[in-house]
Chain A
Amino acid sequence: MTSALDITRSVKPPRAVFVNFPLGHQTGPPHQPELQRQIVRDAMRAFETINAPATIVELPYVWDANDRSWEEIDYTKGWMPSRPSHEAADALEAQRQQKFRK
């Protein structure tokens, strides 16, 4: 899968399936199992249909037909929400370990 056409054209994996969605959603938006399944099924089909090296199949799915503004801001300065500190991440990890090591 890829959502970054220019990078994939440079790296040239043997075969790729492109979906024009914001980073972090290459196999679909959260809790939309049918769309996710369609995307993944299309990707599986590409294993059989792609015969030429470095082919990129472009899927027709649209993130939001009424609002393409995400394309202007994805991966630009200020686009990343502020991240939890390392201390906060460590605390979350400790919680997780406590929960699952019981």
Chain B
Amino acid sequence: MPVEYIPRTRDLYSDFIPYRWVENDSAPLTALTKPISECRVAMISSGGIMYRDQPRFHHEDASYRRIPIGARPDELSVWHFGYPTADAERDANCVFPLDRMRELETAGVIGELADPAFSFMGGIYSARKVRDELAPQIVDELKRAHADAFFLVPA
């Protein structure tokens, strides 16, 4: 049975004001205009991934990091307070599948992986901060990159 994370969040953070989940009535779906094998795909992970000497994330941090898609595994590190990061520290592909996306690009499954990829630390209490501060900056990045599709990986 899939884990029910909404009640578990209530229990885990029972000392805090109950978290108000985003509830949307509908979803905007934009169909691809070409096969994914011809698309430039951008990737973002909320797993708190950092590249080389980029500053680490902090609590309530709505900033993001640009990660060159040529980054080697030993150039990536992780900071996140909300999930056990040990496995992601051993292999960032658990939550930031950069190597896998590059392989799928080589195999022709996707047309191209947009450079850079992105990461932020998804443990942000304020949904407003994400919607009004973080998301618009990412949208600008995607427009500049002429991305056709956007792949979001949570942690």
Contact = CB atoms under 8 A, between A and B. Distances in A.
Interface of A: 1-7, 10-15, 18, 20, 23-31, 33, 36-37, 39-41, 43-45, 47-48, 50-54, 71, 74-77, 79-81, 83, 89-90, 92-93, 96-97, 99-101
B123 to A, nearest CB: 11
A101 B53 CA distance: 7
Given A24-B84, A40-B104, A47-B149, A75 B12 contact: yes
A45 to B, nearest CB: 7
16 contacts: A4-B154, A10-B22, A14-B30, A27-B97, A30-B93, A33-B99, A33-B103, A36-B94, A44-B104, A47-B36, A52-B29, A53-B27, A53-B29, A80-B82, A92-B77, A96-B77
Contacts of A6: 2, 4-6
B100 A25 contact: no
Contacts of A47: 32, 36, 39, 149
Contact of A24 (B4, B32, B75, B87): B87
A45 B50 CA distance: 28
Nearest to A1: B153
Contacts of B25: 12
- Secondary structure at chain B's binding surface: helix, strand, loop or mixed? loop
Contacts of A71: 1, 3
B44 to A, nearest CB: 11
Nearest to A24: B83
A68 B85 CA distance: 20
A81 B86 contact: yes
Interface in B23-60: 23-32, 35-36, 39, 41, 47, 50, 52-53, 55-56
B104 A77 contact: no
Interface in B92-141: 93-97, 99-101, 103-104, 109-110
Contacts of A92: 56, 77
B63 interface: no
Given A24-B155, A26-B153, A77-B11, A44 B110 contact: yes
B93 A4 contact: no
A5 to B, nearest CB: 4
